[in-house]
Every structure is written in C-alpha cells, then in structure tokens.
Structure 1
C-alpha cells in the first residue's frame, strides 16, 4: 500500500523568526492521523531568519537528524560540541540520557533552511553523542544513517536506515523492499514519479506491504529525496 501526502496538507507554524512545515504532529499542530510512521516521529521543514535560532533546550531518548538545505547551522551542546553545519551536511545527535543544545543561523543576510528529523530509539538512556558528515550528491542511493554505521554512515540507535536518493535527469530505478519492512520517502528537491504517483518537493509517501517501488525522474533536472527504511 502506498499513501501520498502532499506538502500543502502538512501542519504549519509561523513564529516570525521561524516558519515551519510539520509532516507529523508537533508542538501546537496535532493530527491523530499523522502521529508518525513506525520509528519515524518528526519531519519538520524549517526556515530560520538571519541572526535567529533555537535557544538552548533539552532532549532525551531521541535520535535527531538535521539536514541543511540552505545556509549554515551554528550548533552548541552540553557535551562540549561547538560546530557549524553547512548546506549539504547531515548531523545526527543522539540525546540518550539527556542533552541540551542550541541551533542558530549565524548569517546576517541569508536564511537557513533545514530538515529536522526525529527517530524514536530502541535503546533508552546511554551517553549522548553527536556525529556530522557531508555525503555529497553522488547519483543513486547513499546510506546516511544505519544501526551499525555501515559504509561510513552515521550510527543510529534504531533498526532503521536513512538513505539519500539522487536521481539524474531522465533516469529511473527500482527499489526492492525487504519483507516486513516499511519505507517513507520525503521529496527534498524536484519532482519524481513513484508507482504512477507524481511526488513534488515537500511531499511524503508511506509504503507498506510492497516488495518494490519504481522511481523515475522524467525532468531535465536532478532530483533529491530521503528514503527511510523502517521496522
């Protein structure tokens, strides 16, 4: 079964300095039909104004992935990590038994656009940690996060994997799905066709009880999507 949710159907929030689209229920946006999908709990599409950001706040027992689309995140946390996360890079913060952090747009002129993703862990407590990497834009599927950190991916505390799909112009691929697993696809850039469904930027697809899906890029531009392989 394949279920498509359009970008304009997502929840939204406007805090002046922050404009956010919520794929799943978050903060003041609540929809009992969209509470998450398997271990995937949050996808927030955030736009942060220059010289603004999230003040220091805490998290516990959550795997938090940030993927910067435009601009730079200035990150600081209670484990002593002080980092900048530029466009194209992924960061995985394992909150574990508890961590405090801040995220700030240091530019005085340019907005910051990034995806904030929360994964519910299968390990409770433990030492917090932070990993960061630029995986580039190699055509095909690149593993970003996995339970064992395979292929130099970020090690995540859940039986799931996150992949980046880059599909060049006028190309296609077929993706096999292991029995008993589910997929979630989030379209980051461009528009693609998935099993006869047109998926555009910000759209999401839930895939259950399927053995494979076909993805095609019929445009003259490269497309980028995130693929979550979930239990």
Structure 2
C-alpha cells in the first residue's frame, strides 16, 4: 500500500480580518507546488468566519463546490434565486457549470466554522444546480454516510466519478474503507484515528491506494474522498 500523510501544520494558514482559513491545497495567496490537490479534489479550506461577515457576491464556473457547516449557520444567496440557511450538520453542493454568482454570509453573533471543498467536474459548461441536505454523522455514529456521488440515488449528485462520505467514529470502534475508485483521501475534522498504521489527528489527512481499516483513538469525525482520478 502507498500512503502519504498530510499533516495539519503543513497546511497554509491565512488570517485576513474576518476570515481565518487553513488550506489543505494551494489557494488564493497561499501557494505550495507540493500541495495542488489529489486527482479531481482541488480544495479543502477550513474556514472560520467572524460574526456579521462573509463572502460577498462573487462568481464561479465549472466547479463542484461542497460546503460542510460544522458550527453556526451561514446564509446563502445565488443568481439562480436560491436563498437558504445552512446549519451545522448540513451540506450544500453547488454545481457551478456555465456560471453562478453567490454569497455566503454569517449573519449571526458568533463565528461560523465550515469546510469548503472544490472538486473539478467531468462535464464542462453544464447547467448550474443547487442541492442541500442534512446529514450529521454524530446522530448515527460508527457508520459511513454518503454525502455526494455520481449516481442518481446519491443524496446529492456530483458531476464527477467520485464519492464523498463522512462518519463519526466513537473511541475504540472501527470502520472499513472499501474503495470503489482508485484513490482514497481521508481528512480528519476532529479527534484522532489510525489508518494503515498511521496516526491521523484533527486537521491531518491521509492519502492511500488500497483497502484499509480505520480505528478511532478518540471520538473522531472525518471525511472520506473516494476518487477515480
């Protein structure tokens, strides 16, 4: 098995006014040629957005943009006419396609903590779409929850041959990683787990290319990216 451990301290750390962000891969003002993404997975930004602030209206195109809110509530508006609140435990997927403009604002009085994930699509210039689901793994611990996938029966449909799953694993429990694609990338949100003999803690991620078992050293939450390319 080939493995590569991406430590939390190797992520880019950017703090600019109302936004504090840790970048797993090169993004914006932080660039590292060693960290340009894993296959179609291009961005994992770990963002803390101060109260009464956020991302004003801005454009995207030809990108699958997945948002996971971990704490607080973010308010969304877009050029397709969608207006929604995304609460902790909820996920949003914007398929930007030919182009979309949107804003994500923290209208509350406390900071919002979220992950913003970009995956490059395998279809260019498609019609933009918006999807949102509630899927909090802490409510059903010790099992995988599928968040997005390429098939119509996935909770949210992504324009890429990839699946994104999440789990909350209680201390001492195990979960098998049975990949359907070529590459696995597990990003730990909180806690500490063991994969293939590697200790992976909050903010770390592990790339590996074979079957594996995850064991939780502490109560832990993580995301598994099952990627074809």
Task: Pick the TM interval, shorter chain.
Answer: over 0.9
Aligned residue pairs total: 224
1:53–1:103 Cα contact (<8 Å) kept: yes
2:48–2:114 Cα contact (<8 Å) kept: yes
**Partner residue in 2 for 1:107:** 108
Give the TM-score, by structure 1 length: 0.94
In 2: Cα distance, 1:195 partner to 1:68 partner: 29
Q: Secondary structure at the match of 2:145?
A: strand
Q: Secondary structure at the match of 1:8?
A: helix
Give 1:177 shift.
2.7
Select the residue among 147, 150, 154 that pairs with 1:147: 150
Give 1:24 shift.
0.3
**Partner residue in 1 for 2:159:** 157
1:13-72: CA deviations, max 9, x gaps?
111100000000001111111111010000000000000000100000000000000111
Structure 1 segments of 4+ aligned residues over 4 angstroms from their partners: none
**Partner residue in 2 for 1:55:** 56
2:191–2:217 Cα contact (<8 Å) kept: no
RMSD of aligned Cα (Å): 1.1
Mapping of 1:67-146 within 5 angstroms? 67-108=68-109, 110-137=110-137, 138-139=140-141, 140-146=143-149
Consecutive unaligned residues of structure 2, counting only runs of 5 or more, are: none
Give 1:166 shift.
2.0
Give 1:169 shift.
2.2
Consecutive unaligned residues of structure 1, counting only runs of 5 or more, are: none
In 1: Cα distance, 2:20 partner to 2:135 partner: 27
Give the TM-score, by structure 2 length: 0.95
**Partner residue in 1 for 2:194:** 193
